[in-house]
Amino acid sequence: MNTALVRKRLVIGNWKMHGTQASNAMLLTGLCAGVAVVHDCDLAVCVPFPYLGQVSASLHGSGISWGAQDVSKHEQGAFTGEVSSSMLTDFGCRWVLVGHSERRTLHGETDTLVAEKALAALKAGITPVVCVGETLAEQEAGRTNEVIQRQLAPVLALGADSVAKMVIAYEPVWAIGTGLTATPEQAQEVHAFIRAQLSELGVPQVRILYGGSVKASNALSLFAMSDIDGALVGGASLVTEEFLRIAAA
């Protein structure tokens, strides 16, 4: 089976910690009005927790799905400040980012914790988007594959049935929010490395997104690569036209 044929393109916007109810309303109205230009692509936004209600009300029935940017590994209890996967389900979330580099770096999230969060999401029927990626120093030291393998190990250890329901996002840390993008060939090389690990587990059809300063001007060349199944988009997802043009690429 040619797995490239069964892997539908997926473009997810990561709003990070941006937005107000007023600015969100403009963005969401624009997305709903313009989504018709997007074909053969799943389109989604991952938004700050307080806006999930607004986003679910605005996007319901639009064909655009939504999710969150983090989730607790715990189901419920005395975990002040945390948000559980069942709470995300309550707001109709289809996706949740886990292990974004900003959470790994700024909040000390370990590879094991990321896998635990992915499992918590799966248990609630939410697709975890597991983010992996190397720093500039690691890339320059030729350690990219080693780092990706280490980050993925506890996730892959959850087993084929679990991993089959996930999405992987390769986001080189040096390309996030910096304006620097991996060349399509550089990204493809890492995606192929990830695909090989997924194939070894028996789940080659899992979608692998690229993230790191994706814009309308570079989306097409990235999407032309055989193992790049879409994008995780930060900054450009806050600009309606730009985000839609990426998804339409």
3-state SS assignment for residue 143: coil
- Binding window for ligand PEP (CB under 6 A); candidates: 31-39, 82-90, 109-117, 234-242: 234-242
Judge contact between 83 and 71, C-beta under 8 A. Answer: yes
Residue 218 within binding range of ligand PEP, rule CB under 6 A: no
Furthest C-alpha separation in the chain: 47
- Residues numbered 157 to 186 that lie near ligand PEP (CB under 6 A) are 171, 176-177
Annotation marks residue 116 as catalytic: no
Fill in the DSSP letter of residue 49.
G
- Binding window for ligand PEP (CB under 6 A); candidates: 34-42, 146-154, 193-201, 210-218: 210-218
- Judged by beta carbon, residue 63 or residue 177, the one nearer ligand PEP is 177
Residue 213 within binding range of ligand PEP, rule CB under 6 A: yes
User: Considering the complex, what minimum distance in angstroms separates the CB of residue 100 from ligand PEP?
Assistant: 6
- Judged by beta carbon, residue 204 or residue 247, the one nearer ligand PEP is 247
| Residues in binding contact with ligand PEP, number by CB under 6 A | 14
- Return the structure tokens found at 7: 């892997």
Lookup result for tokens 């390309």: 175
- Return the structure tokens found at 203: 């789940």
Judge contact between 87 and 51, C-beta under 8 A. Answer: no
Residue 147 CB contacts under 8 Å (≥ 6 apart), including other chains:
132, 133, 134, 135, 138
For ligand PEP, the binding residues (CB under 6 A) are: 14, 16, 171, 176-177, 211-214, 232-236
Catalytic residues, by residue number, are 100, 171
